[in-house]
């Protein structure tokens, strides 16, 4: 098992992260559903956090909390700095997800769909530079509610 562990220690970070990043990217780029894209994004961010964490890890080291048994030697502890950073990164990713979900709800309310191709069709259906109505749209929808025909389209 030693060989495996060596491999694990040396190549694991790159392999793991790359694999997971690829999966995340696949979700973000190839999935047509916006929620799926978002899920892909979460996986993507998770992969990067994982990358940092793995690099903080040392074989045989322990949790970075002071412990009599391990004494003062920093080498005996897992490097804590990446952990501190990743705490922040996780919050960032959650905040991003929150904002994105709010946007998704808004999109759904306006267009009645979250499928990218349908959205594109809707967007193109509108005349090119047409009523450039800025803020107009968002106010109008207060009156109209969701798109009138979104029930039927499904």
Partner 1 sequence: MSGHFSAVFFVLALLAAIVALKVKDLLAAAVVLSLFSFLVALLYVSLGAVDVGFNESVLGAGVTGILFVIAIFNTRRRSRD
Partner 2 sequence: MSVKWTSRLWAGAGTALATLVSAVGVAAAAGHEMAQAHGDLSAIHGAATQSPDAFQIPAMVLAPLLIGVVLVPALGRLRRSLAYQVTVVVFVAYLAVALKALTTVLAHGTLHYKMAGWMPPVGIEWTLDALSAFVVLVLAVVAVMVAIYSGVAVRRQNPEREVPFFSMMVVMMLGLTGMVMTGDLFNLYVFFEVSSLSAYALMAVGDRKAPVSSFRYLLQGTIGASSYLMGVGYLYVLTGSLNMADVASLLPHLLGNPALTVALVLMVAGLGLKMALFPMHLWLPDAYTYASSTSTAIIAPVMTKVSAYVLIRMIYFVFDSNWVLSDLHLGFVVTWLAMAGVIWGSVMAIAQRDVKRMLAYSSIAQVGYIGVGIGTGNPWALVGAILHIMNHATMKSSLFMVTGIVEMQTGTRRLQNWNGLGRKMPWTFLAFTLAALAMVGVPPTNGFFSKWYLALGLAGAKQWVLLVLLVLSSLLTAGYFFRLLERIYARTGEDVGSGSARVGEAGDGGVREDGGANADGVKLAGASGSGIAGARDPGLALLLPPLLLGVGTLVLGLVNAWFVTEVIAKALPAALRIPGLGG
Partner 3 sequence: MIRPKETIITDHVVRVMVPFIQIFAFYVIFHGHYSPGGGFQGGALLAGSVLLQRVVLGAERSQIGFPTRLGIPFGALGILIYAGVGFLAMLDGGNYLQYDHLPFGMTPVYLRNTGILLVEIGVAFAVTGTLVSIYDDLVNFERRDDQAEMHSAGSREDA
Longest dimension (CA), the chain: 72
Q: How far apart are CA 132 and CA 41, in angstroms?
A: 31
Binding mask 46-65 for partner 3 (x = CB under 8 A): -----------------x-x
Q: What dihedral do alpha carbons 136, 37, 43, 15 form, nearest 10°?
A: -130
Return all residues near 6 (Cβ < 8 A) that are at least 6 apart. Answer: none
**Dihedral sign of CA atoms 140, 143, 149, 154 in order:** positive
Which of partner 3, partner 1, partner 2, none lies near 18, with the C-beta cut-off 5 to 8 A by kind?
Answer: none
Min CB(36)–partner 2 separation in Å: 11
* Binding interface with partner 1 (CB under 8 A): 4-5, 8-9, 12, 16, 19-20, 23-24, 26-27, 31-33, 35-36, 38-40, 42-43, 46, 49-50, 53-54, 56-59, 61-65, 78, 82-83, 86-87, 90-91, 93-94, 97-98, 101-102, 104-105, 108, 113-115, 154
């Amino acid at each position: 098992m030693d060989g495996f562990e060596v491999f694990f220690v040396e190549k694991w970070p790159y392999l793991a992260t790359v694999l997971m990043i690829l999966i995340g990217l696949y979700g973000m780029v190839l999935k047509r559903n916006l929620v799926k894209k978002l899920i892909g994004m979460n996986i993507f961010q998770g992969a990067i956090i994982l990358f940092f964490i793995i690099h903080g890890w040392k074989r045989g080291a322990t949790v970075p909390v002071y412990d009599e048994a391990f004494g003062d030697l920093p080498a005996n502890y897992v490097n804590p700095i990446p952990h501190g950073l990743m705490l922040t990164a996780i919050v960032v990713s959650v905040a991003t997800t929150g904002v994105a979900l709010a946007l998704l709800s808004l999109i759904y309310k306006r267009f009645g769909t979250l499928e990218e191709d349908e959205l594109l069709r809707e967007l193109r259906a509108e005349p090119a530079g047409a009523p450039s109505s800025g803020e107009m749209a968002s106010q109008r929808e207060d009156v109209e509610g969701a798109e009138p025909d979104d029930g039927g389209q499904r």
